[in-house]
Amino acid sequence: MRFVDREQHQIDCLILQDNSDLAVVFDRLQEHATMLPAVVLFDESADFCALYLNATRYLAIESLSQLDGAIDEAMSKFLAIAAEPPAAESPVAAIAVTSSLLLQQRRLADKLKQRLGDWGLYYKRNPRTFFKRLDRDERQALLDQLKSEYGEIVLQYFTESHGLNERIDLFVNQAFFADVPVDVIVQIHMELMDKFSKQLKLEGRSEEILLDYRLTLIDMLAHLCEMYRRSHPHP
């Protein structure tokens, strides 16, 4: 599980063997909002009931020669999953799940575009998790999460951090699925710049460096616009 948690954005498909621990593994994956295509190998003489995602492909061990096709099928079905988390999830948790799912779908779709086409990039949002429909506490929790993530992006933006693009994708995915208004994102940026400005003044340093971070905001909004553009089928 540690390996999967650490490398989930490099994994195209999980290959698992059905046993008494499989249900526990699936529960752990869902608890960590880890969404990946999966092929489960099972013994035809045994019962199996563990369920991960609707896109999970089950393959009899006796048919192991068909593994390549099963992996392709699992990934194809995974790209078609609508992002509809369980109703019991809190809105903020639901957004985290759908963001993880979307990120993996986009990454796989980019790899498989030649074979699967653009249909894998059309996603479904849940209006119940939209920013304007959250209650006050839920909205504040989402805002706090977005502010924290945006702050990390700003700190890494002009560095050579290998995780920057992933952070940007996660932030934009959350904003997209929660239908966060653009003015809220701008406000998050302005509040952070104001905080940095006060810190620079205390240190007796120039605030001009903050002007460069306008590029960060422009970049985030451009990514969000692209997300909305890609969320609608093109004729």
93-106 pLDDT tens trace: 666 666 767 777 77
Is pLDDT larger for residue 9 or for residue 56?
Answer: 56
Q: Kindly indicate the confidence band of residue 115, based on its pLDDT and cuts at 50, 70 and 90.
A: very low
Per-residue pLDDT, averaged over 11-15, amounts to 82
| Confidence check: pLDDT of 220 > 90 | yes
| Nearest-5° Cα angle at 58, 43 to 63 | 60
| Confidence check: pLDDT of 122 > 60 | no
Across 83-97, 141-155, 215-229, which has the greatest mean pLDDT?
141-155
Across 63-72, 97-106, 210-219, which has the greatest mean pLDDT?
210-219
Portions of the chain given CATH number 3.40.50.2300: 1-81
Intra-chain end-to-end CA distance of the chain, in Å: 42
How confident is the model at residue 81, as a pLDDT? 66
Half-sphere exposure of 149 (CA within 13 A, CB side): 22
How confident is the model at residue 121, as a pLDDT? 42
Per-residue pLDDT, averaged over 104-133, amounts to 62
**Cβ distance 119 to 80 under 8 Å?**
yes
How confident is the model at residue 52, as a pLDDT? 61
Select from 3.30.1330.20, 3.30.300.30, 1.10.1240.30, 3.30.70.260 the CATH code of 88-235: 1.10.1240.30
DSSP string, 6-60: HHTTT-S-EEEE-STTHHHHHHHHHHTT----EEEEE-TTS-------TT-EEEE
Residues 6+ apart with CB under 8 A from 29: 4, 35, 36, 52
How confident is the model at residue 46, as a pLDDT? 55
| Confidence check: pLDDT of 169 > 60 | yes
Portions of the chain given CATH number 1.10.1240.30: 88-235
Lowest-confidence pick of 21-30, 59-68, 96-105: 96-105
Is pLDDT larger for residue 217 or for residue 78?
Answer: 217
How confident is the model at residue 195, as a pLDDT? 93
Give the global pTM: 0.53
The CATH number given to 1-81 is 3.40.50.2300
Q: Kindly indicate the confidence band of residue 157, based on its pLDDT and cuts at 50, 70 and 90.
A: very high
| Confidence check: pLDDT of 113 > 70 | no
Rounded Cα–Cα distance for residues 14 and 2 (Å): 14
